[in-house]
């Protein structure tokens, strides 16, 4: 029997009301938040660190009484800084943010991984390659910090590098401890065991290993740890690769299935490694990263290498960024934190990890490439960038088909020509080499390759108008990438030939590649989104096709026939540039053990090279001269950084003043640092102009009015000859007037630190960013170079 319309309407109304009532009475959504409370040694925060009960009391003040066991701490931070993470509602997090001693409360973010010959290349670019040759083999070099080189001081300190990443593969030859002395007595860390990791996996090289599960403390004041599955072992490969770049032991005859053969080694092969597995292939929890940084500082590391970062689109403020928070307290304790700049280039304003107390690394190429050869049916050949282990031969060719001509039903040509997922007809592709174009950059090369492979294609030619200069590793699948000019010739051949054919040969090394270094296509660019008054990135280091240790994985389509899984792999990213900088910084620290993190950073920045192996200025991917927003101060030069002449020492006090200018309150700053007597200078809040006065080894002025003069005050410390005189030389673009006051710095036995000002006048300068440099010369061997970026409006 049908219900009357009025009754049906009433039932619908009651049902809707019931749904509304049930949804309104549902529990609010909880998510993990980080509660940051500043320095562990700040008396403003109640002493060394707070007990669990204090944090639980804070939580109970913002939660309902019937929450019971739902309320709990997930993590506590207690070594270098104070705070905790907990599951909270948005309202509870808001209530906590207003409590005494709380600096910031923010949702736990998920950060992403910024996914050899490189050290030889850096040595050759130093101008001291003849010095190096005495300790080099014919094909590759031994480490600058692992062996004494004539004219270079011997290491005086045992350096410990903490790597926060996806773990480590301890059996790799890169982590053997042959010839390495006893573990330093100052080391306080541990070697955690797991399901496939034993304490015996640690040694005198790999001295520590931690991994993280969820540790929750409930309001019964008892800690309940949920033991994580797994161990410090790296199943992703990212952590193993980065750790070996920074401090891997020398391994002769290493290669990636024959490619890039030579001696694989780290920048500081005598340094110790401690790993902190805080990440998986899916990314890294911010709260876990903070815990790893806190542990690393307490364990006694000298450096923390972090090839991880937030998305530039959703970049958090300095006090809501886990890496920026942890790095601030690390530098307070004398620990240098090196981070990757990100892989979102070539777009501007994409650099991450841009806090001034972080050492930020951009990526460059080296003087080696990997190329395959495409042989067409008419005998013509084309070279293209790739890493492949194709089993195709010149003696046999295969039909060529353009993606647009192999479209599946109802697929637009624009999609099939780009080889979108689902766009190709298997019947039209099977057994053929498919030509795809890269006019839509939202589809990665890996996805396109999988599309062709899934359609049973025999190989793939990718026509990319953008010359990225970054070879793609297609494994055993025949793949080649060519530029627009070659692509046009290939398509013309296909249009004019009745049965176009071709074959793709296996990749080979191309040594002596020029120009190098160049800024990598993917490397994130400045200016920094948070403030343009700090020039970022800081430096550039190798990050394209870097050979380093990797877990031996037997994945279908990656291992050539007859080969065993490789212990080494070629990877690209600022993730690879970051440990290069870490290794170089560790090398400097080993010779100058008393230098602070900012002094080491300064030495590497002011001695960086800005010329390539053609003797011309370093270029970007567009073959234009690279700006400091792309290359920072230039390519690191570890040998020259040992004797920089002058350094720019940035203290915690300088960083606190910077945060005043950035807009933090006196109250927050007193919680941030143990300097409880610190007070922000008058009229300093939100003062962009004063930010440029940070004692930093580069200068950036975000806004210079044509009617005003911009000034940057800087102090420099002499670490070279006691009695030295330095003269300033300025290289500036036409129209920008730059004056240095004074132009001469005279250092004596009694005068080791002097201050100077740089005055910029943009009255006649072109609008936009003007780039240049100031170089202090002592007439001997020292060239102390500061790059600057001045935005004229």
Active-site residue, 200 included: no
* Rounded Cα distance, 605 and 785, in Å: 8
Q: Is 451 helix (H, G, I), strand (E, B) or coil?
A: helix
The DSSP bridge pattern shows strands 368-376 and 381-385 to be: antiparallel
* Rounded Cα distance, 476 and 372, in Å: 13
Q: Is 14 helix (H, G, I), strand (E, B) or coil?
A: helix
DSSP 505: P
Active-site residue, 575 included: yes
Residues 6+ apart with CB under 8 A from 767: 792, 793
Instruction: Give the position of tokens 């409930």.
Output: 218
The tokens of 127 are what? Answer: 């101008």
DSSP 336: E
Give the DSSP H/E element, type plus range, for residue 540.
strand 539-542
CA distances from 23 to 12, 16, 140, 657 (A): 16, 11, 67, 49
DSSP 166: S
Q: What are phi and psi of 456, to 5 degrees?
A: 70, 30
Asked whether 250 and 142 are in contact (CB, 8 A), the reply is yes
The DSSP bridge pattern shows strands 709-718 and 646-647 to be: antiparallel
* Rounded Cα distance, 331 and 92, in Å: 32
Asked whether 597 and 582 are in contact (CB, 8 A), the reply is no
Q: Exactly one of 108, 165, 654, 778 is catalytic; which is it?
A: 165
* Rounded Cα distance, 673 and 666, in Å: 11
* Rounded Cα distance, 354 and 339, in Å: 9
Q: In what order do the strands lie in the sheet with 744-747?
A: 699-704, 783-792, 768-777, 724-731, 744-747
CA-nearest of 30, 517, 586 to 337 is 586
The distance from CA 23 to its chain's CA centroid, rounded to whole angstroms, is 43
* Rounded Cα distance, 151 and 156, in Å: 15
Instruction: Give the position of tokens 């991984």.
Output: 113
Q: Enumerate long-range contacts of 611-619, CB under 8 Å, 24 or more apart.
A: 612/514, 612/515, 612/516, 612/517, 612/518, 613/124, 613/125, 613/367, 613/514, 613/515, 613/516, 613/517, 614/514, 614/515, 616/515, 618/364, 618/517, 618/518, 618/519, 618/540, 619/515, 619/518, 619/519
The tokens of 45 are what? Answer: 């925060």
CA-nearest of 611, 613, 589 to 599 is 589
Q: Exactly one of 145, 575, 671, 700 is catalytic; which is it?
A: 575
Cβ atoms within 10 Å, residue 642 = 18
Burial of 31 (0-12, 13-18, 19+ CB in 10 A): exposed
CA-nearest of 575, 554, 576 to 563 is 554
SS (H, E, C) 186-254: CCCCCECCECCECHHHCCCCEEEEEECCEEEEECCCCEEEECCCCCCECCCCHHHHHHHHHHCCCEEEE
* Rounded Cα distance, 67 and 457, in Å: 58
* Rounded Cα distance, 154 and 156, in Å: 6
Cα dihedral value 634, 636, 639, 643, nearest 10:
60
Active-site residue, 165 included: yes
Give the DSSP H/E element, type plus range, for residue 783.
strand 783-792
End-to-end CA distance of the chain: 78
The DSSP bridge pattern shows strands 206-211 and 272-277 to be: parallel
CA-nearest of 344, 277, 355 to 322 is 355
Instruction: Give the position of tokens 């108008």.
Output: 465
Q: Exactly one of 238, 241, 329, 580 is catalytic; which is it?
A: 238
* Rounded Cα distance, 306 and 300, in Å: 16
Enumerate the active-site residues.
165, 238, 575
């Amino acid at each position: 029997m049908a219900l009357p319309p009025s009754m049906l309407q009433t039932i619908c109304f009651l049902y809707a009301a019931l749904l509304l009532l049930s949804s309104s009475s549902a529990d609010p959504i909880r998510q993990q938040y980080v509660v940051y409370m500043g320095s562990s040694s700040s008396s403003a925060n109640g002493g060394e660190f707070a007990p669990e009960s204090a944090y639980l009391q804070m939580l109970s003040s913002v939660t309902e009484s019937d929450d019971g066991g739902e309320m709990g701490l997930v993590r506590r931070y207690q070594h270098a800084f104070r705070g905790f993470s907990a599951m909270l509602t948005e309202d509870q997090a808001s209530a906590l943010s207003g409590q005494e001693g709380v600096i910031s409360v923010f949702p736990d973010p998920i950060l992403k991984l910024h996914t050899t010959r490189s050290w030889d290349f850096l040595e050759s670019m130093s101008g001291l390659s003849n010095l190096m040759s005495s300790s080099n083999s014919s094909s590759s070099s031994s480490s600058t910090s692992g062996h004494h080189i004539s004219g270079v001081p011997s290491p005086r300190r045992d350096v410990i590098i903490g790597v926060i990443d996806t773990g480590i593969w301890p059996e790799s030859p890169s982590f053997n401890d042959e010839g390495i002395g006893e573990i330093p007595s100052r080391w306080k860390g541990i070697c955690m065991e797991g399901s496939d990791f034993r304490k015996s996996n640690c040694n005198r090289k790999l001295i520590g290993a931690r991994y993280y599960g969820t540790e929750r403390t409930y309001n019964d004041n008892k800690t309940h740890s949920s033991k994580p599955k797994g161990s410090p072992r790296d199943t992703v490969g990212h952590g193993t690769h980065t750790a070996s770049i920074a401090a891997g032991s020398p391994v002769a005859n290493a290669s990636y299935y024959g490619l890039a053969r030579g001696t694989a080694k780290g920048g500081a092969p005598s340094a110790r490694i401690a790993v902190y597995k805080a990440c998986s292939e899916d990314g890294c929890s911010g709260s876990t990263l903070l815990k790893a940084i806190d542990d690393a500082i307490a364990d006694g590391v000298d450096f923390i290498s972090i090839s991880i970062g937030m998305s530039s689109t959703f970049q958090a403020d300095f006090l809501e960024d886990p890496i920026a928070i942890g790095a601030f307290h690390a530098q307070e304790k004398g620990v240098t934190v090196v981070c990757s700049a990100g892989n979102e280039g070539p777009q501007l304003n994409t650099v991450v990890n841009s806090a001034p107390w972080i050492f930020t690394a951009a990526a460059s190429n080296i003087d080696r490439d990997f190329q395959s050869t495409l042989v067409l049916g008419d005998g013509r050949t084309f070279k293209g960038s790739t890493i492949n282990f194709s089993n195709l031969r010149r003696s046999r060719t295969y039909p060529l088909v353009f993606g647009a001509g192999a479209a599946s039903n109802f697929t637009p040509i624009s999609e099939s020509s780009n080889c979108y997922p689902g766009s190709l007809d298997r019947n039209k592709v099977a057994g053929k080499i498919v030509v795809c174009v890269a006019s839509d950059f939202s589809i990665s090369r890996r996805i396109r390759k999988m599309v062709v492979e899934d359609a049973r294609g025999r190989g793939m030619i990718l026509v990319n108008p953008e010359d990225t200069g970054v070879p793609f590793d297609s494994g055993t699948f025949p793949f080649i990438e060519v530029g627009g000019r070659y692509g046009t010739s290939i398509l013309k051949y296909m249009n004019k030939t009745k049965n176009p054919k071709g074959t793709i040969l296996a990749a080979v090394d191309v040594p002596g590649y020029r120009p190098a270094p160049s800024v990598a296509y993917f490397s994130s660019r400045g200016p920094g989104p948070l403030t343009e008054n700090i020039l970022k990135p800081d430096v550039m280091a190798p990050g394209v096709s870097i050979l380093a240790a990797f877990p031996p994985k037997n994945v279908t389509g990656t291992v050539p026939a007859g080969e065993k899984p490789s212990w080494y792999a070629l990877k690209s990213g600022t993730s690879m540039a970051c440990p290069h900088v870490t290794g170089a910084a560790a090398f400097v620290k080993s010779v100058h053990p008393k230098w602070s993190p900012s002094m080491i950073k300064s030495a590497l920045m002011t001695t960086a090279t800005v010329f390539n192996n053609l003797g011309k200025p370093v270029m970007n991917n567009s073959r234009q001269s690279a700006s400091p927003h792309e290359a920072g101060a230039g390519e690191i030069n570890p040998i020259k950084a040992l004797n920089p002449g002058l350094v720019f020492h940035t203290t915690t006090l300088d960083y606190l003043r910077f945060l005043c200018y950035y807009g933090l309150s006196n109250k927050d700053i007193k919680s941030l640092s143990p300097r409880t007597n610190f007070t922000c200078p008058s009229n300093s809040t939100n003062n962009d102009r004063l930010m440029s006065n940070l004692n930093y080894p580069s200068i950036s002025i975000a806004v210079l009015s044509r009617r005003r003069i911009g000034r940057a005050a800087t102090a420099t410390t002499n670490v070279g000859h006691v009695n030295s005189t330095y003269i300033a030389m300025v290289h500036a673009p036409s129209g920008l007037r730059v004056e240095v006051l004074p132009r001469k710095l005279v250092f004596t036995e009694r005068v080791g630190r002097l201050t100077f000002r740089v005055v910029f006048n943009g009255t006649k300068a072109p609008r936009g960013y003007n780039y240049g440099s100031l170089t202090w010369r002592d007439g001997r061997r020292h060239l102390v170079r500061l790059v600057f970026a001045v935005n004229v409006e």
